[in-house]
Chains A and B, each alone.
Chain A
Amino acid sequence: MPWWLPAGLALSLVALLAGGALLALGFAAGGFDLAETLGQPYLWRVVWFTLWQAALSTLLSVGFAIPLARALARRDFPGRGLLLRLFSLSLVVPVIVAIFGIAAVHGRRGWVNDGLELLGFQGLHYLYGLGGILIGHCFFNLPFVARVLLQALDSVPPESWRVASQYGLRSRDIFRLIEWPALRSVLPGIAGLVFMLCFTSFAVVLTLGGGPRATTLEVAVYQALRFDFDLGRAVTLAVVQLVFCGGIVFCLLRLSVPGNLTLTEGRVYERPDRADPLGRWLDGLLITLGTLFVVLPLAAVALAGFNATASAVLSDPRLWRALGQSLTIALTSGGLALVLGGAVLVSSRILRHRLQRSRAAARLELSASLILVVPPFVLATGLFVLLRPFTDVFALGLPLVVLVNALMALPFVVRFLGGPMMDEAQRHDRLCQSLGIAGWSRLRLIEWPNLRRPAALALAVAATLSMGDLGVIALFGSEDFATLPLLLYRAMGSFRMAEAAVIAAFLSLVCLLVFFAIDTLLGRASIRLPGRSVRHA
C-alpha cells in the first residue's frame, strides 16, 4: 500500500464534500459579481474584524493556557484527573448552552456582579463587546489548549527533570530550556486550530459581541444565503474565508518544529520548581481561577436545569427518543472520525517517521482541519445542490449529518491521536516492518492494544462534539428527526426557556457521561489477544 493512500482517501472525502459543496453552489449561482462583492468596504471591515477578534482570541486562549498548563504540570491535587477530563469537554458544549452559562456568570445579573454587589461594589458590565467575545472564545478553547499543552509538557523525559534538579534550574530557566521547546512542537498546530474555530465563530461573536460591529464573515455568509439568496455572494465570501483563514493557518504552521508528543499517565514529576512556596501559592491561584472560569458556566447550566419543569421534561418520551438519535449520531460519527483521523495519521506518520518530512506531515494533518473553515450553511446548501440530482436528500439526512459531523471532528481526532501514534511508530515501526506485521494484523496486535487509551479519548471528544452539534439537518430540513440540541432550540423558540434549561443540563450531563463512558470502558477495559487474554492495568 502506498503511503499516501489512507490519508488520500480520508482527505478526498473532505475535499469532495467541501469542494463539491462550494463548486455545486458556485454553478448553481449562475453569476458572480466578484468585483461588486470584493469591492464593498463592508466586506473588508468584516474581514478585518474577523481577523482581529480571531487573532486576539487565539492569543489569549494560548497565552493563558501556557501558565495554566505549567501550573497543572507542577501540581497534583485531588480531582486533578476529573478536572483534566472536564477540560477536554469544554469544546463540546453546545454554543447556545455555553452562551447562557456565560451570561449567568458574567452577565449584568450574573454571579460575578452579584458577588461584587454583595461586597458593596458597583456591578461591572463587561460581558457584551470585545470582552464578551474573548470570554466566550476562551471558555471554549483555553481548557482544550491547556489540556493539549499539558500533554506536551508531560512528554518531557524524566531525565530532563533530574538534570534540572541537579543544576538547580529556576522556574524561568526551566520554561526557557525545557518547557518551551516541548510546547513549541505543538503550539502552531493547536493555535491554528483555535484560530480557525474563532475565525468561523458566529453566535458567540454576534451575541456576546454586543452589536453589529462584531460581525464575522460567517454572519455575512448566513445573511447572503438566508436573507438575500445570493448564492454567488455566499460562495465568494466562503472562498474569502477559506483563503484568509487557511492561508494564515498554513503560515502559522511554518513556525512549527518537529517534535514528539507522548501521552503519559499524567503523573507529576519531581521537578525542582515545585517546592517554592510562592510558586505553590501562585499555581494554586491559577488553577483555581482556571477551574472557576470553566466550571462556573457549566455549573450555571446544570443549576438552571433544576427547575419546576424538570420532572415533566425528563419523563417525556420525546426527550429519550431524541437522546437515542443523538447517541446514534454521536457514536457513528465519532467512530467514523476516528477511522478517518487514523487514516490521515497513518500517512502522516510514514511521512514523518520513514521519509523524514515532518513539515509535509504537519501540512497533511492540517489539511484535515480545513473543513472547519467552510461555513456550515454553505456546506449544507452546497451538498443539497450537489446531491439532489442523484438522490433524495431528505432520505440522506441522517447519513449526511453523521458524515459532516465526522469531518468536523476530524481535526480533534488528529490532535489527540497524533502524538501517541507518532510515539508508537517511534517504538515499533521498524520492528513491525522487519517482521512484516502490517495491515489488519498490525492494527489488531500492535496498534490497538497500545493506542487504545488515546484512541478512546479521541473517540470520546469526537462523539461528544457531534452530540452537541445542532447538525446540518436543521439546515436541510427534516421530519420526525430530533436530536437533543434540536429539541433545545425548539423549546427556546417556543418560549419554553425553563424546559430548554432542563434539556441543556441534560444534554451537558449526557455529553459528560458519554465522554467518561467511552474513556473508561474503551480506554481501560481488558482486551483479548490470541493465545492468552491480556489484562491491562
Chain B
Amino acid sequence: MRLFSFVAVLAAMVPLLAGGAAAEEEKRLTVYTYDAFTSDWGPGPRIKEAFEAECGCVLDFVAIDTSGGVLSRLRLEGESSKADVILGLDLNLMAEAKATGLLAPHGVAAEGLTLPVDWSDETFLPFDYGYFAFVYDTEALAQPPRSLKELVEAPDDLKIILQDPRTSTPGLGIMLWVRAVYGEDAPEAWAKLARKTVTTTKGWSEAYGLFLEGEAPLVLSYTTSPAYHMIAEQTERYQAAAFEEGHYMQVEVAAIPKAAPQPELAGQFLAFMVSPGFQTAIPTGNWMYPVVDLPDGLPPEFDKLVDPARPLLFSPEEVSENRQAWVDEWLQAVSR
C-alpha cells in the first residue's frame, strides 16, 4: 500500500511539474533513457507522440546523462524504482544489467526482427543497431584505409580521433573491435594506433566535433553517420571507411524492471517499440538502423552507406567477463 501511495503522490506531482497539462487519473508510462534519445533532435518526441496516440496514456521520458547512467539509476533505486521501461542500454551492459536481478522477461515475440544476428534474449529487446566505423573527410583523405589492419599499419602521420573505453560506448566499441580482429595481439595493434591518435575524448560528441573542425581526417563513429550529412546537409563530403575484417556492431536494447508500476503498459510499449510507429523515428532520429522492415523502407541515402561484410560481436557474457582485463590491457598498451 505504501508503494501505491508513493506512486500516487508522484503521479499527482508530475503534471504539476510538466505544467499541469495532463489529467490526474491518466495512465502514465515512465521510461528511463539517455539524454540524446529524448532531445528535441532525437527520436524521443516523435515516439512519444505516436505512442500516446496509440495507448491513450501519457509517456514520460526521464533523461539521464548516458546509458551507463540509466543502469546505475535503476540499480540505486532497486525495487522501488518508478521506471516502467529502461531504454538505451548497450549490448555490452546487458550481462551486468541482467545480473542485478531487477529485470523481468519482456514477453514480446521477437520474430519479425531484421537484426543481422539472431535474437532470443528473454529480458532485453533491441530497438536499433549500427556498426562502428571510421568516418573520414573526403577533402582531407582521398584514400581511406580499407581494413583495420591497414589503418593500424598506416604511417603515423595518418591521424585519428578516438573515444575512451572507460567513459564512452564507442570507446568500448573500438576496443572490442580491435580485440575481435587481433585477438591476443590487440596490445601491439593498440600501441601502433596510439601513435596515430590525436586525442582520446570523453564521449562521441567531443570527438566528432573535433573531427568536423578538421583536427583529424578520421574519427571513430558509425557507418550511419554519413547519412546525417547527406540527408540534413546534402553533402557527401563525410564518408565511412569500409573495413574488410567487418565492423563491430552496436545493439541498443530496452527492458522492463520487475518492479514496474505499469507492467502491462510497459509490455505494450515494448511491442510498440518493434513496430513501425517507433521504428520509423530511428533512422533519421537516432541515425541508426531500425530492427524491423519499415513500410516505406529506409531513406534512399541509407543505400549509399557502407554495408559491413561481416558483423563482429562478442556475446554480452564475454564482454562482461573480460571488459576489465581488456581495458587494463588497452591502457597498458596505449600508455607506453
B212 near A497 (CB under 8 angstroms)? yes
A256 located at the interface, meaning its Cβ lies under 8 Å from any Cβ of chain B in the complex:
no
Complex CA distance for A226 and B202, rounded to whole angstroms = 12
Contacts of A222 in B (CB 8 A): 166-167
A474 touches B35 (CB 8 A): yes
Contact with B along A219-254 (1 / 0, CB 8 A): 110110111110000000000000000000000000
Instruction: Give chain A residues whose Cβ lies under 8 Å from the Cβ of B62.
Output: 394, 477-479
Q: How far is the CB of B17 from chain A (nearest CB, A)?
A: 6
A206 contacts the other chain (Cβ, under 8 Å)? yes
0 or 1 for each of B303-332: is its CB under 8 Å from A? (1 = yes): 000000000000000000000100010110
A493 close to B39 (CB less than 8 A)? yes
Asked whether, in the complex, the Cβ of A206 is within 8 Å of the Cβ of B214, the reply is: no
Interface positions of B from 242 to 277, Cβ below 8 Å from A: none
Contacting A318 at CB < 8 Å: which of B40, B68, B77, B216?
B40
Contacts of A228 in B (CB 8 A): 324
Contacts of A208 in B (CB 8 A): 199
| Chain A CB within 8 A of B1 CB | no
In contact, A108 and B198 (Cβ under 8 angstroms): yes
Flag if B214 contacts A212 (CB, 8 Å). no
B13 — nearest CB in chain A belongs to which residue? A395
B1-36 interface code vs A (CB 8 A; 1 in, 0 out): 000000001100100011100000000000010011
**What is the CA–CA distance of A128 and B32 in the complex, to the nearest angstrom?**
36
Residue contact B164 to A109, C-beta cutoff 8 Å: no
B69 to chain A, nearest CB (A): 6
Give the residue of A210, A212, A384 whose beta carbon is less than 8 angstroms from that of B331. A212
A202 within 8 A of B: yes
Is A94 in the interface zone, CB < 8 Å from B? Answer: no
Q: How far is the CB of A235 from chain B (nearest CB, A)?
A: 14
Q: Which residues of chain A are within 8 angstroms of B72 by Cβ–Cβ distance?
A: 225-226, 229, 381
Residues of chain B from 122 to 173 with CB closer than 8 A to chain A in the complex: 159, 164, 166-167, 172
Residue of A with least CB distance to B80 = A388
B60 close to A202 (CB less than 8 A)? no
- Would you give the 0/1 interface string for A454-482, flagging 1 where the beta carbon is closer than 8 Å to chain B? 00000000000000000000111111100
- Please report the C-alpha to C-alpha distance between residue A128 and residue B215 in the assembled complex, in whole angstroms: 10
- A227 — which chain B residues lie within 8 A by C-beta? 68, 166-167, 172
Residues of A within 8 A of B205 (CB): 96, 489, 492-493
Restricting to B63-93, which residues have a CB under 8 Å from any CB of A?
Answer: 63-66, 68-69, 71-73, 75-77
Choose one: B42, B214, B216; the contact of A494 (CB below 8 Å): B42
Q: What are 24 A-B pairs at a CB distance below 8 A?
A: A100-B210, A108-B159, A108-B215, A202-B202, A203-B202, A203-B206, A206-B201, A222-B166, A225-B68, A229-B72, A229-B96, A384-B76, A394-B62, A474-B35, A475-B64, A477-B62, A477-B64, A479-B17, A480-B19, A493-B42, A494-B39, A495-B41, A495-B229, A496-B41
In the complex, are the beta carbons of B167 and A219 less than 8 A apart?
yes
Across the two chains, which residue of chain A brings its CB closest to B332?
A42
Q: In the bound complex, do residue A212 and residue B213 qualify as a contact, i.e. CB atoms below 8 Å apart?
A: no
Q: Are B41 and A226 in contact (CB under 8 A)?
A: no
Across-interface contacts of B65 in A (CB, < 8 A) = 474-475, 477
Interface residues on B, range: 35 or more
**Which chain B positions have C-beta within 8 A of A226?**
66, 68-69, 72, 167
A341 within 8 A of B: no
> Which chain A residues (93-141) contact chain B, with CB distance < 8 Å?
96, 99-100, 103-104, 107-109, 128, 132
In the docked arrangement, what's the CA distance between A499 and B200, Å? 24
Which B-chain residue is minimally distant from A109 (CB atoms)? B214
Contact A210 B75 (CB under 8 A): no
Which residues on B are within 8 Å of A, measured CB to CB?
A: 9-10, 13, 17-19, 32, 35-36, 38-42, 60-66, 68-69, 71-73, 75-77, 96, 159, 164, 166-167, 172, 194, 197-202, 204-206, 208-210, 212-216, 225, 228-229, 232, 287, 324, 328, 330-331, 334-335
Query: Which listed residue (B18, B199, B228) contacts A480, Cβ 8 A?
Result: B18
Contact B41 A103 (CB under 8 A): no
A207: Cβ under 8 A from any B Cβ: yes
Instruction: Give A498's nearest chain B residue, CB to CB.
Output: B233
Alpha-carbon separation in the docked complex, A496 to B210 (Å): 13
For residue A258, give the distance in angstroms from its CB to the closest CB of chain B. 42
Give the Cβ gap from A482 to chain B, nearest Cβ, in Å: 8
| Contact B202 A206, beta carbon cutoff 8 Å | yes
B213 pairs with A210, CB closer than 8 A: no
CB distance from A200 to the nearest CB of B (A): 14
Per-position 1/0 for A347-360, Cβ under 8 A of B = 00000000000000
Q: How far is the CA of A197 from the CA of B331 in the complex (A)?
A: 25
Q: How far is the CA of A493 from the CA of B205 in the complex (A)?
A: 5
CB atoms of B35 and A490 under 8 A apart: yes
Contact of A392 among B13, B19, B201, B335 (CB under 8 A): B13
A497 near B32 with CB under 8 A, answer no
**Which A residues, 169 to 222, have Cβ-Cβ distances below 8 Å to chain B?**
202-203, 206-213, 215, 219-220, 222
Answer whether residue A510 sits at the interface, using C-beta atoms and an 8 A cutoff: no
Which of B61, B68, B209 sits near A492, CB closer than 8 Å?
A: B209
